[in-house]
Each structure stands twice: as C-alpha cells, then as structure tokens.
Copies of this chain bind each other. A is one copy, B any other.
C-alpha cells in the first residue's frame, strides 16, 4: 500500500525505514468511483491527493463551460492548494475520470508532518517547484504558440494522458473548443 507514493517520494528524498513508517502513519487511503467528486467548488479542500491508480481532473466552471486546469494520473498529485492552505472556499472542482485509488494528506497531517519531519518539507518544496516550472512552460506555450503546436507538444509530453482522456477534455485543457481541436487534427492529418 502506498507503494507508488513512497516510490515517488524517495526519488526526491531518500528515507530510512523508520521515517517511512512515520510518514505512513499520517496518510489516509481513499477510493473514488468514476465521475465521483473529490472536491466541489465552494467546499474547502481538505487534502492533497496523490494518485496511486486511476485518473482525475481539476477544473473550473465559467459561464457554464468547464476549463480543465490539470489532469492527474498515477504518480501525480492534485489539490486546490489555495483552498487547502488557507481554508477558503475552493474555486476548482476535482473529480475522477476513472475509478481511482488515492493517498490523502489532510491539512492536519500536512501541518504535523511539516513540524515533525524536515524531509517532508523538502519533498513538498521540490514537488511544488517542479509543478511551478511545468506550469510556467504551459503558460508560455499558451501565450506564444498556435493551437496546433500546443496540441502536438501536449501529445508528445503526455502521450498516456492523450490516450486515456476524451478529446474534448484535451481541448478544454488547451483553452479551445472541441470543434476547433477536431478541425486542427483533421488539418494535421491532411497535411501528412
């Protein structure tokens, strides 16, 4: 249990058996069925979720249409960090695209781990740093590249996600309408 979680953690921060057991004692397992919410807009985000199995998405709703901020499959972490850290209402929804098994770090677990185990803080720092860099790149490609190139770089960067997730969600992730993505794919196929 928690295998993937500790594998990812130890890639960044080596742990002794004792430290692993210590951290393990703060974690909570959770299963989610397809279409089930982990978080709904307006609630307070109660945990950071690590995906052991399955696939989730985080999205906001604006004028009735959904905009996907993030996907998370095995090995990824997902949360509304702002709501989690401040206790304010969440502005994002998180739900399961497939049946999923999660490892949850609740707010109190998070705070106690930060105090009790310096390596946890280091892991958090590295985790967020990586997420920040990835997000910077995504934003850069969003403001500087045409949709077609954004789409190819997405499928190259995340081929696994591109296969598991319906196309209209990838369009939503890229910030375009499904029809637009469909036409771009057609154009790319024709060119070839």
Contact = CB atoms under 8 A, between A and B. Distances in A.
Interface residues of A, number: 32
Contact of A143 (B67, B81, B82, B125): B67
Contact of A139 (B65, B129, B139): B139
Contacts of A140: 60, 67, 69, 91
Tally of this chain's copies: 2
Contacts of A81: 129, 132-133, 136
Interface string A110-133: 000000001001101100110111
Interface string A66-101: 010100000000000110010000010000000000
A25 interface: no
A138 interface: yes
A142 B69 contact: no
Nearest to A122: B121
Contacts of A82: 133, 136
A30 to B, nearest CB: 23
Contact of A136 (B135, B142, B144): B135
Interface in A123-174: 124-125, 128-129, 131-133, 135-136, 138-140, 142-145, 172-174
A178 interface: no
Contacts of A132: 81, 128, 131-132, 135
Contact of A174 (B65, B131, B143): B143
A69 B139 contact: yes
Given A60-B140, A82-B133, A128-B129, 4 more contacts: A91-B140, A128-B132, A131-B132, A138-B139
7 contacts: A60-B140, A65-B144, A67-B140, A69-B139, A81-B129, A139-B139, A139-B142
